[in-house]
Chain A
Amino acid sequence: MSARIGIVGIGHCRFGNSSEYDLVDVIAYSANDAFRDAGGLHLRKEVDQVLVGNMAAGMFNHQTSVASALISRMDMEPCPAELVENGPASGASAIRLGYMAIASGMADVVLVAAGEVMRVVSGWEATNIVATMAHTEAEYNMGLTLPGFAGMFTRLYMEKYGMTERDLALVAVKDHDNGAKNIYSHVQLPVTIEAIADGENANVVNNYVAEPLRMYSTCPISDGSAAVILVNMDSPKAKLFPKKPIRIAGIASATDTHCVHNRKDPLVLDAVRISAEKAYKMAGVGPKDISLAELHDAFVIFELLNSEEVGFFERGKSFLGVRNRETEIGGRIPINTSGGLKAKGHPVGATGVSQVVELVRQLRGEAEEGRQVKDPKYGMAVNFGGFGNNVVTTILAKD
């Protein structure tokens, strides 16, 4: 791939409860933020393609054609616009398709805006809507939900590798510590290991959701949006954007079986490993070159598993790295410096773009005090669709 494609504008709203706002306004907020970051709202007229990441507006908000609505809300007609739906990986898939649009020569500037407003329904209904990504006959109909799968997955990992519930809590403590410093986080409160694991009231504070996963092992249900502006760095239009681009060095995706039980080893996430291998190859780097990573942690077990599949740790050893504080800011490989889905929140369609916004902030050196990784060169994001059956890995580079 010879195209040099970079990110010249980023936008993000604070994740949390935006249920009183219209979904399209929520997405447009981050899109406007991205144009202001890129140099001004007038630059929206330079966009050749708009891609909107969203998972389930039809079910959550009873709304369709979100991309068309966004175009009119932002006065961007007649710019082409499409919706990208790939479950919780919708955001990163939209970025990947934006990259492909530029690489193909059909566009020089692409706006990728993604968002979800989930809290308009009850938590029980949101869980049910998200569960529709599972196999209808063999999983969803059984009553299974994503927390249910993650609970089974976590038990298997604990049985096989000796991880404890306290190890899960240590990941949550680290993520909440990072999230507390992130202005965009849904949950901006640090937690202590005493409160959620060691103290006598820990079982009450941190109750079971899907055993052995507890509340602090799962992400909140969040609303929110994020946006990035992609530019062909070698086109004349690139000169219109004053900020130095953060280059997309590698971006790749892979799939796995729809039914979790049909994988040879349910603990092996082939789609994560393959998409990461492809992204490393495209970028010409390896795991040791990565300065920080945003790994999809809708459940903290995913952060651990993803960190093994992308090569940061040997299989079954990632929780030992957390014990040794290797994944904290200042550690060997900082993971989820934003707070991750666990603390920053998980508006499903927005998450993939939000992860990339965090990498850009870090690579520019614009993260908040106490959260900035020292002199990062490469950042990686893994956005997990379904229960690991459709995964996008992105590697950004500061040239």
Chain B
Amino acid sequence: MIDFSVYGEQTPHISGYKCLKCGTIFYPAPMVCKGCDAHRDPVTGKHWEQFDLEGPCKLLTWTRVWNLPEGFNRKFLMFGMVEFPNGLRASGRIECVGDPVIGATMEASVIEADERPGAPVKVFQFS
């Protein structure tokens, strides 16, 4: 029997973190909960929950960068900072035509990027 669930695991994800003791949520991962001082063990993840950060979000600000670092063979890239409905914020790339508008609702997804040397990395893409 083919187990299709393995294909799901190959989809890139970026996680938010929830302290199960007090409910405070974080991105990126902390080592201590600022709500209740609970420790997060990065190996066991015990007493913490991980959840996917994606979907609708509000654009807080953006830029179009023309002097990209070594490895980026593109003329420019747009970057933005967004806020998710749960209050978490993130920075990532923007893919859209023309200039985005501050306050607009965008859709966050996760892609793999390999411009820099080393293993591919997970990147937020807001569109």
A-side interface residues toward B, CB under 8 Å? 122-125, 127-128, 131, 135, 137-139, 141-145, 147-148, 151-156, 159, 207-213, 259-262, 266
Chain B contacts for A211, CB-based, 8 A: 63-66
List 7 additional A-B contacts (Cβ < 8 Å) besides A151-B79, A154-B63: A138-B27, A138-B90, A143-B115, A147-B65, A152-B62, A208-B64, A261-B90
Q: Could you say which of B63, B64, B67, B124 contacts A142, with CB atoms under 8 Å apart?
A: B124
Chain B: CB-nearest residue to A259:
B28
Q: Could you say which of B27, B61, B69, B124 contacts A127, with CB atoms under 8 Å apart?
A: B69
B66 in contact with A152 (CB, 8 Å): no
* B 82-103 to A, binary, CB cutoff 8 A, 1 in contact else 0: 0000000111110000000010
Alpha-carbon distance between A125 and B72 when the two chains are bound, in angstroms = 11
Alpha-carbon distance between A144 and B70 when the two chains are bound, in angstroms = 12
B72 in contact with A155 (CB, 8 Å): no
In the assembled complex, B22 has its CB within 8 A of some CB on chain A: no
Q: Known contacts A148-B79, A208-B66; is A142 also within 8 Å of B28 by CB?
A: no
B66 in contact with A260 (CB, 8 Å): no
A139 in contact with B61 (CB, 8 Å): no
What DSSP secondary structure best describes chain B's contact surface? strand
Please list 14 pairs of residues, one from A and one from B, whose beta carbons are closer than 8 Å in the complex, sorted by A's number.
A127-B67, A127-B70, A128-B70, A128-B116, A138-B91, A141-B113, A145-B67, A148-B65, A151-B65, A152-B63, A156-B102, A207-B66, A259-B91, A266-B81
The smallest beta-carbon distance between B104 and chain A, in angstroms, is 13
A155 in contact with B91 (CB, 8 Å): no
B-side interface residues toward A, CB under 8 Å? 27-28, 60-72, 77, 79-81, 89-93, 102, 113, 115-116, 121-124
Alpha-carbon distance between A144 and B93 when the two chains are bound, in angstroms = 8
The 7 closest A-B pairs by CB, nearest first: A151-B63, A128-B69, A261-B89, A141-B121, A156-B61, A138-B28, A124-B70
B123 in contact with A148 (CB, 8 Å): no
Q: Which among A125, A135, A152 has the highest number of chain B CB atoms within 10 Å?
A: A152
Alpha-carbon distance between A143 and B121 when the two chains are bound, in angstroms = 10
Alpha-carbon distance between A212 and B65 when the two chains are bound, in angstroms = 9
Chain A: CB-nearest residue to B124:
A142
B63 in contact with A261 (CB, 8 Å): no
The smallest beta-carbon distance between B54 and chain A, in angstroms, is 15
Q: Known contacts A135-B28, A147-B65; is A152 also within 8 Å of B70 by CB?
A: no
The smallest beta-carbon distance between A179 and chain B, in angstroms, is 21
A122 in contact with B70 (CB, 8 Å): yes
B63 in contact with A148 (CB, 8 Å): yes
Chain B contacts for A259, CB-based, 8 A: 28, 91
Chain A contacts for B116, CB-based, 8 A: 128
The smallest beta-carbon distance between B30 and chain A, in angstroms, is 10
Alpha-carbon distance between A155 and B60 when the two chains are bound, in angstroms = 10
Chain B contacts for A213, CB-based, 8 A: 63
A124 in contact with B69 (CB, 8 Å): yes
Chain A contacts for B64, CB-based, 8 A: 151, 208, 210-211
A210 in contact with B67 (CB, 8 Å): yes
A153 in contact with B61 (CB, 8 Å): yes
Alpha-carbon distance between A260 and B124 when the two chains are bound, in angstroms = 16
Q: Which among A135, A142, A159, A259 has the highest number of chain B CB atoms within 10 Å?
A: A142
Q: Could you say which of B61, B62, B77, B90 contacts A143, with CB atoms under 8 Å apart?
A: B77
Q: Known contacts A128-B71, A152-B79, A261-B91; is A142 also within 8 Å of B65 by CB?
A: no
Alpha-carbon distance between A148 and B80 when the two chains are bound, in angstroms = 9
